[in-house]
Structure 1
Amino acid sequence: MATNLAQTLKGCRSWADLQRRWRPLTNKQKGDLFEELTKHYLLLEPEYASKLKSVWLLREVPTSLARKLKLPSDDQGIDLLAETKEGEYWAIQSKYREESDQSITWREISTFTGLAFGVCRGFSYGLIASTTERITNVLKHQDRIGFAALDVWQGLDEEFFRRLQKHLYHKREVLKARLPRPHQNKAIADAVTYFIKKKHKRGKLIMPCGTGKSLTSYFIAQKLKARKIVICVPSLSLIKQTLKAWMYESMARKQDVEWTCVCSDESAGKVEQDDAVVLKQDLGVPCLTNSKEIAEWLKRKHNSLTIVFTTYQSGQALAKAARDAAFTFDFGIMDEAHKTAGAKDRLFSHLILDNNIKINRRLFMTATERRYRGESDEILSMEDPDDYGETLHKLSFKKALEYKPAILSDYKVVTIHISKEEIADLVRNRAFVRPKTKGWGKEMEAENLAALIALRKAMNKYPIRHAVSFHGSIKRAQDFQDSNDAYSKSFPSSERLQTFHVSGKTPTGTRAKEIDQFSRAPRGLITNARCLTEGVDVPNIDAVLFADPRKSLVDIVQAVGRALRPSSNKKFGYVIVPVVHEKNAKLDDVLDSDSFKEVLTTLRALGSQDDRIIEYFRATLQGRPSKNRRPLEDILTEKLAKKIDLKEFARSVELRCWDRLAKLSWRPFKEARSIVRSLGLKSVLEWVNLCKERANGRKPILQDIPSNPDKAYAINGWKDFSDWLGTNRVANQNRTYIPFRKARAFARALKLKNVAQWRSYCKEGLRGKPRIPFSIPKSPNMAYSEWISFNDWLGTNNITTQNRNFLSFKKARYFVRKLRLKTSKDWDKYCKGKILKDRPIPKNIPKKPSQHYRKSGYRGMGDWLGLPNSIFHKRGKRGPWMCFKFARQFAWKLKLKDVKEWRAFCKNGGLNGKRIPRSPHLAYKGRGWKNWFHWLGKEYKDFRSARAYVRKLKLDGFDAWRRYGAGKDPQGRKKPLDIPLSVDRHYAKDGWKGYSDFLGTDE
């Protein structure tokens, strides 16, 4: 039979070729040949060859093994049998169907499942090899069953058929290992330097879509000599792709690999969001799902390279298993890492945190960083080096285009302007058939037809043969396919366009068939909502059409990446954005329309990846020629083109675009400062007012200069606003002030009544009063160590809060507890007079007890209000915590760096089952507590030592100190942990005289 299979393979280069060769044969012959093909496929394909030790046809199974497994002697459903390298057995059924759109039914395979997991003994897995698109839904929840359906056989390439023919004639062809391409070599070298020489633990690899990040990670892992690797991806389809790529390279290099896949029911995409849903069964290999199974696998003795392929959604199960097995990974590869940013408690974020799983080094790979504003400890943002590390290598889009041979195709953004009159003409000409579904209205009809017209216009003007359209929902994508079919029937003279549709609901085999037919069509359109954004390979795409608004910049970049894959004779990929306007629209109407805003959103997303877009608009608006071509092309309606000045239109478009793009790329610090100094501004107030005017578009030359330069250039040259504006004034922290007593005498002579008047005087001056001298600080409370209070400074008789005679702590707390308030928010409302208005807060009880009673008994708001859950409630007795000494010894052993790490440790359950409080500064107050540094097993330097160390740094002022403390020192120096950041507070009673003394700037 092997010879017969070999004979039928002659001249075959694809699955279609083989099907044509088999067509004249009988069903029995086809079935036998397919069983034979299945056997050799499992022996040759790297993902199976790396896992399986032997594969037998039923008639080849050794008698002793058949007896051991209780295998029937005749064919009752099990066609093949395989033994893994780990000593487990697979039952395999092979089903050949000529018509691929048929479904394998439960009746056809029920005997197989009954035999494999009922009658027989010892089978760990069952594989169903079938040439159909679908297999019965009954098996969806069978964890021990896998499919090798149409998508597998359709994906066999010319190289496989060549290898198969040699294999059948007992000639071995060694797989050819791929070598890194030049752009990958640079990334690999940077990663080696970053992880090995600089000894970093986390780092980001930023490369555009389609540049081979997955393969690059394989080469990096080899260079790092990692032996225990975890590869994390967001979907099962990406597990399938990554497994195939890694096993190919390992087999080509004759590496022994032990691997497993970890996935859960949550690993498949969400159909309502149109993620590409792949069932666990579609992987065609066993998947571990619960932590007990995973831990058992990890505990086995692994003598070779060990790899776990997992989805982020399965991270909790894997992390628990790794903890149970005391297993530490050498290297973690986080693919599509932008999906891990966001709330820390999401499934996607679980494997990022060290407290959850031990991974010595982590590599975060993405084309599109996702960042979140704000300072919440509960949010992960890719700009946070603590969570994601620094960028170890970034390949810009501009640089990617310079490589030869091409890594990517260049692209053009094409805006197709459409008048509502054109849409109405189509409806009148019956070129459009309305779907008989709910929710369809004139607005949806207009949007659908606008996208249709835009696509047809673009395909007529540009060399576009294959386009993919993205829509707001699966239903809208289906309707767009129907609309295009209706258009083709109404206008038979138009060039034929074959249409296809896929969604997250589409079975994997059917999806593969649709994509294959689309790629072979002379002119094709494939519609979807978002399932083709990532994780599904679609060849030969020339253009992407955004038929509906896209809000996610990440989704836009990922979708556009589909049109950038290089192919023969392809010069550009095209991004098509429809712009709809009224029949008699004017220039401003067009530019202010919602549809034109989509153009700006698309450009902004692409500009975040492609510096050439920024460079073009910057040069154009400065009146100088650009080295880069215009990234935007406009196809106007005839009427609009006649009504407006085309040069004015182009200029206006560029102004709108620049307004949205400028913030993506600030000018270099020195260049920006030079421009700002030329404006002749005299104060920070004038700068703020200018920034407000700039927001209205008055000074486009300033659009790429930040309004908060102190933050944007914090580590790139920033000193202070006097330097920024060129006013030559001395920064506050560097001034030399007159002695405290003389300054206070000056302030008292002004006879101001309160702090508000003092601040108004400092800011604007007061009539009849002299201007504040430079030798007197506007914030004397920050400048003088002799400072008492503003009441003392101004010589007023008002009793300030801190000088009032308050009740003793116990009496005050007794009064407050009788109010029966339930939360700290209730206390705030009470203090503001919003609740219990008949019982206002007495003047002898402070609104901020934490400040006034800090040293006289205050132990937290729960104790203050008398809440039952407070550890100090119940007659003031403390909770059942272990003594301070032993609790602190526990904290020491953790070797945590700071309070942030302690809180993260507590949040992740580190104190579960232990009698140690999360808030030791409250629980152990007066019982040994000193400060957090002492709690974590460290001590701060004394004042003199700290000052001596800092003076050697020669920082030039307070701003420089803040940058240094925040880890943003221009020279890369890091503040030692034994020197506090708030030195003025910590050393207030130990010799503190002011920042000029501490930094040594007054010497």
Structure 2
Amino acid sequence: MSFELFQVPEEEDCMATIQDVLYQYHNIYADGQELTVETGANRLKGNWFELLCLWFFKHDPLYRQRFSEVWMWSDWPGRGGRPDTGIDLVASVRDGGLCAIQCKFFEPGHSVQKADIDSFLALSGQEGFTERLIVSVADDWSSNAENAIRNQQIPCTRLTLEDLDASRLDWGAFDLEHIGTVAYRPAKTLRPDQERALKAVMEGFQRHDRGKLIMACGTGKTFTALKIAEQLAGAGKTVLFLVPSISLLNQTLLAWNADSSIPLTSFAVCSDTTVGRRQRTDEDMKPTDLATPPTTNAADLLRIWRLPSFAETVSSSMTVVFSTYQSIAVLTKAQEMGFPDFDLIICDEAHRTTGVTLTGTDESNFVRVHQNKFIRGAKRLYMTATPRIFSASATTRAQEVGAVLCDMNDPSLYGPEFHRLSFSEAVRLDLLSDYKVMVLIVDQRYVSDAVTQIMAEGELKLDDAVKIVGCWKGLAKELSMTNLTDRGLDPEPMRTAVAFSSSIKNSKQFRDNFPRVIEEFKRQAGPEAKSSLNCEVRHVDGTDNICKRNALLEWLKSAPEEIRANERENVPQCRILSNARCLSEGVDIPALDAILFLNPRKSKVDVVQSVGRVMRKSPGKKFGYVIIPVMIPSNVAPEDALDRNNNFKVVWEVLQALRAHDDQFNAEVNSLDLNEGSDKVIVDVIGLPEPVDGGIDIPFPPEAWQEGVYAGIVKRCGDRQYWDQWARDMAAVADAHTTRLKSLLEQEDFAVKNAFETFLAGLRENINNNVSHEDALDMLAQHLITKPIFDAIFGFYRFSEQNPVSQAMEQMMKALESCGLESETEALANFYESVKGRIAVINNDAGRQKVIKDLYETFFKSAFPRTAERLGIVYTPIEVVDFILRSADWALRSELACPEGLSSPDVHILDPFTGTGTFLVRLLQLGLIAPEALAR
């Protein structure tokens, strides 16, 4: 992070950040306070920064707990007259050790060299110091400097500006003249949705010792977990917080210490990160960048725990051990040696604790967390945005080979689901931005001519060039078939994007090839491309040190303001940060406009975690975009390309992943065949020539490709049993309602019995004298279930308020109000929200009519098989209904001398068994009755 990018906020009520303060003091000392010697100005800046760091270490909650005292080097009682040759501050650590601290205030753009820290490392290597810490404002560290602070006998950690900025301190309160003055930013409070999550988890733990908390990415799981720990454990108790990576450990450590309402005693446990499967050390930060030195073995953890200085604080603070899953063996050993049982174990990113272990082999550290024989704890909370569930076939295969399968649907391992905040619910509550998926199909001929020379150099594949052009067009929102305004989308080009490749090598190639391809493409395209989007691409991966990674993230985060300030000649600018997978988990970039998927992603969890990055809210942001560019071959039929071309694999995999974790997107995909296009999945074709009147026909026009891709999505990503399963869900609920109604009528409540007898008599009088007691009960249950559904389908027309039979039902329902029947409906609140969501994605009357027909057919067969069999309930396919209606119209015209067919004045249409209304609806939709005949 470069502080020169920031300015002191003008608003009086705005909390100052560390960047604001650095910017201010950098400008003050830029003149050297009237000094003419540059080194003099640097010395003043260095002294000021040392005092700022002293103030930070004395007052920050985390370091106030770690350090009992902090001195300037010149004030340290143990200095012994030694000159300042690199150590700026000295801190007394509560475990009895001493920490040497260097505060490096470098000029922006300075690259830290080994020579810059040699004297500090040499002096702090002398007897007495047990820890080293470097505070650096520099983004760039040379490899020699980086290696110098690793694997030191006296451990050395490094603090970045991001670590400082995570503090709860109000940096604007720092005063060089009054260094004892301190202020903190206001404490965070739970939002209503987080309050509901807290309440649900606390209630769940009253009945269970483990359970799941499912919350969408970016909705505050970490803060919610803190408040759960404070309430469930609290002062004097011990909590274990497990994460899959060192970077997440550091984020959580800083966040909990900044936001806790009670004092924390924090430990960071981080042993060999290469232990266990699924390691991603190439994408993780190094232990040297933890905000507090990690404990790497059980003996050290236990020794520190037993120190009198820590024993004094344990009763008044909550002890929290932050650990990676890979370090579970350290915790197991520590508990064997006497470390206490945990009162609460929180498993973050709990989808990582699933998987298969073969019988007779050692369990993965990620799996051992489930068992008390490895980690003893009273309660376990599994948190994730993306629960991982295995298919029935996977379970069967695991059983066949004698393997143990850890599946998040297994209550013996994970407990019940205490609370869920889905992606769609988070969007509805305005906690997240909704997202759109852009599938951009690019004809290879459209690009090939422009990149012939680059390809001849052997450094570029045509497929990669086509994807680059597709991404460029998508980011610019230059679509050929999609009217963005009609879709309610903002036509302004995107400013920020993250690109995901399958490997670090591919990511670097994307960075290197993007400007060359676009420059050559624009040159060949001529004037019409000159005003298009200009993009700058950078690459990041796990081999970059944390300072560089933070700088690249800051470069992306600050893009919207900087770009708008620097745009020239009305040419929009966009910044793209390319990576393989180090930006998919735990990275927060609220202003991110788009993510680009350049290669297939087999991990559904990785896809959803990546999409979670683009759903963060930021001012002025309407949607996040998921862009998937695909190259199509020339002169190949869409159906052939979709069946045989692996280029579409990335589309199917990304959409399948989103469907598996986003119920609203699942409804969208499963309604594509009912809808007229889609506002959620935008399919656009780039580069195919448009048909010209009187010219040569295009064999496969863009519309054919668009329709083909939508059909392919339904075929490969949809669930053919989706609406059937929904009807079966309703059937199960209806059965419960019938049982409840029978129970109510069997009780000695004469008012209810009399109301029911009146209701039954009315049915027999108006419908049929043979309507039985059971028939009436079934009708009430059906009404209770279907009323909210019809209200959802016909939200503009209150069906149940206008229908005479429904009105009679409502009178009976009012008589049952005092019996607590509404509690049955309250239990269905989430179900009916799901119904509304599923129905909402259908954008035409024909689709709604088909849902009603299919729903009722399956509903009655599943919920009321006796009724369906007795009444012979069979639903005529819409195609057959259309044939019958058209045949009747033809017969009237040709055989019965009615030239206007069904619109003839002498023709009267009666439908005594309307059912779902399919015949009447299709009669109107087919236009077989003239508009002027409708009134008659």
Say yes or no: TM over 0.5.
yes
1:598 is displaced (CA, Å) by 2.0
| Counterpart residue number, 1:239 | 249
Of Structure 1 and Structure 2, the greater helix share is in 2
Aligned partner of 2:680 in structure 1 is 631
For residue 661 of structure 2, give the secondary structure of its aligned residue in structure 1: coil
Please point out which of 62, 65, 69 is paired with 1:54.
69
Q: What are the superposed Cα offsets for residues 859-882 of structure 1, whole Å, 9 maximum, x if unpaired?
A: xxxxxxxxxxxxxxxxxxxxxxxx
Shift of 1:617: 4.0
Contact kept, 8 Å, 1:258 with 1:306, in 2: the verdict is: yes
Deviations 1:247-292 (A, max 9, x none): 0112xx3x22211100013169999957532111111322110121
The residue number in structure 1 matching 2:284 is 277
* Contact persistence 1:331–1:362 (CA under 8 A): yes
* Distance in 1 (alpha carbons) for counterparts of 2:288 and 2:669: 50
What are the within-5 Å matches in structure 2 for residues 141-540 of structure 1?
141-142=151-152, 144-152=154-162, 155=165, 160-165=170-175, 168=178, 170-196=180-206, 198=207, 200-226=208-234, 227-250=237-260, 253=261, 255-266=262-273, 275-300=282-307, 301=311, 302-303=314-315, 304-344=317-357, 345-372=363-390, 373-374=394-395, 375=399, 376-403=402-429, 406-428=430-452, 430=453, 432=454, 445-461=461-477, 462=491, 463-487=493-517, 489-490=519-520, 491=522, 493=530, 494-521=532-559, 522=563, 523-540=574-591
Judge conservation of contact 1:146–1:280 (CA < 8 Å) in 2: no
Q: For residues 340 and 293 of structure 1, do their structure 2 counterparts lie closer, same or farther at Cα, with a shift above 3 Å needed?
A: same
1:412–1:575 contact (8 Å) kept in structure 2 = yes
C-alpha distance 670-486 of structure 1, shift in aligned 2 (>3 A): closer
Cα gap change, 1:144 to 1:269, in 2 (>3 Å)? farther
Deviation at 1:156, TM superposition (A): 7.0
Contact 1:323–1:357 (Cα < 8 Å) also in 2: no
Give the Cα–Cα distance (whole angstroms) in 1 for the partners of residues 177 and 381 of structure 2. 38
Once residues 158 and 285 of structure 1 are traced to their aligned partners in structure 2, the CA distance between those partners, rounded to angstroms, is 16
Aligned-pair CA distance for 1:485: 2.3
Unmatched tracts of structure 1, length 5 or more: 1-7, 677-699, 705-712, 729-1003
Give, in whole Å, the separation in 2 of the partners of 1:482 and 1:601.
26
* Equivalent residues of 2:277, 2:364 under 8 A apart: no
Alignment of 1:932-947 (within 5 A): none
Amino acid at match of 1:568: P
Deviation per residue, 1:960-989 (Å, 9 max, x gap)? xxxxxxxxxxxxxxxxxxxxxxxxxxxxxx
Larger radius of gyration: 1
- What SS class does the counterpart of residue 141 from structure 1 fall into? coil
1:632 and 1:114, CA in 2 relative to 1: closer, same or farther beyond 3 A? Answer: same
Give the deviation of 1:73 after TM superposition: 3.0
Residue 508 (structure 1) shift? 0.7
- Deviation digits for residues 644-672 of structure 1, max 9, x if unmatched? 57766555434432334444984476824
Contact (CA 8 Å) 1:100, 1:150: kept in 2 or not? no
CA contact (8 A) 1:78 1:93 kept: yes
**Alpha-carbon distance between aligned partners in 2 of 1:21 and 1:269, rounded to the nearest angstrom:** 51
Asked if the contact 1:274–1:503 (Cα under 8 Å) also holds between the matched residues in 2, the reply is: no
| Contact 2:169–2:185, Cα closer than 8 Å, also in 1 | no
Q: Secondary structure at the match of 2:150?
A: helix
Question: Quick one: distance in 1 between partners of 2:192 and 2:321?
Answer: 28
The SS at the match of 1:176 is: coil
Summarize deviations over 1:826-876 as a string: whole Å, max 9, x none. xxxxxxxxxxxxxxxxxxxxxxxxxxxxxxxxxxxxxxxxxxxxxxxxxxx
Does the residue aligned with 1:93 lie in a helix, a strand or coil? strand
Write the mapping of 1:665-744 to structure 2, written as runs, cut at 5 A. Answer: 666-667=722-723, 671-672=727-728
Counterparts of 1:451 and 1:369, CA distance in 2: 31
What is the aligned counterpart of 1:130 among 130, 133, 136?
136
Separation in 2, partners of 1:475, 1:563: 24
Q: Any unmatched runs of 5+ in structure 2?
A: 1-7, 11-15, 33-40, 358-362, 478-490, 524-529, 564-573, 692-697, 733-846, 852-858, 872-936
Give the alignment's TM-score, normalised by structure 2.
Answer: 0.65
User: Counterpart amino acid of 1:305?
Assistant: M
Q: 1:27 aligns with which of 19, 39, 42?
A: 42
- The one-letter amino acid paired with 1:657 is I
- 1:202 maps to a residue whose letter is R
Matched residues in 1 for 2:107 and 2:276: separation? 31
Cα deviation, 1:380-426, whole Å, max 9, x if unaligned, reads 221211111111111111211111xx211111000111111123122
Distance 2:364 2:80 in 1: 46
* Equivalent position amino acid for 2:83 in 1: D
Q: Which amino acid aligns with 1:588?
A: E
CA separation of 1:551 and 1:351: change in aligned 2, threshold 3 A: same
Aligned equivalents of 2:345 and 2:53: distance in 1? 34
Pairwise CA distance, 1:607: 1.4
Cα displacement (A) at 1:467: 0.8
Q: Distance in 2 between matches of 1:537 and 1:341?
A: 25
Structure 1: which amino acid aligns with 2:373? Answer: N
**Alpha-carbon separation, structure 2, partners of 1:580 and 1:660:** 19
Which residue identity does 2:131 align to in structure 1? Y
How far apart, in 1, do the equivalents of 2:869 and 2:731 lie? 11
Taking structure 1 as reference, are residues 262 and 149 closer, same or farther at Cα in structure 2, changes over 3 Å only? closer
Separation (CA, whole Å) in 1 of partners of 2:647 and 2:432: 29
Deviation readout 1:27-77 (Å, 9 max, x if unpaired): 222222222222122224333233222211012223xxx1xxx65532133
1:352 counterpart letter in structure 2 = H
Task: Choose which of 616, 631, 636 in structure 2 pairs with 1:565.
Answer: 616
Separation in 2 of the partners of 1:14 and 1:524? Answer: 27
Aligned residues: 660
CA contact (8 A) 1:14 1:158 kept: no
| Secondary structure in structure 2 of the residue aligned to 1:633 | strand
Q: Which amino acid aligns with 1:52?
A: F
Question: In the alignment, which residue of structure 1 is the partner of 2:714?
Answer: 658
Alignment of 1:720-869 (within 5 A): none
**Residue 446 of structure 1, CA deviation:** 2.1
Q: Go from structure 1 to structure 2 and tell me whether the alpha carbon gap of 1:89 and 1:272 turns closer, same or farther (over 3 Å shift).
A: closer
Query: Distance between the aligned counterparts of 2:20 and 2:202, measured in 1?
Result: 40
Offset at residue 16 of structure 1 (A)? 4.4
Query: Alpha carbons of 1:153 and 1:235: their partners in 2 closer, same or farther (altered >3 Å)?
Result: closer
Is the CA contact (8 Å cut-off) linking 1:543 and 1:576 kept in structure 2?
yes
Distance in 2 between residues matched to 1:31 and 1:664, nearest whole Å: 67
- SS at 2:548 equivalent: helix
| C-alpha RMSD of the superposition | 3.7
Bigger mean CA offset, 338-347 vs 80-89: 80-89
Contact 1:271 1:505 in 2 (8 A): no
Q: Please say if residues 103 and 135 of structure 2, whose CA atoms lie closer than 8 Å, have aligned partners that are also in contact.
A: yes
Which stretch has the larger CA shift, 135-144 or 207-216? 135-144
Paired-residue identity, %: 29
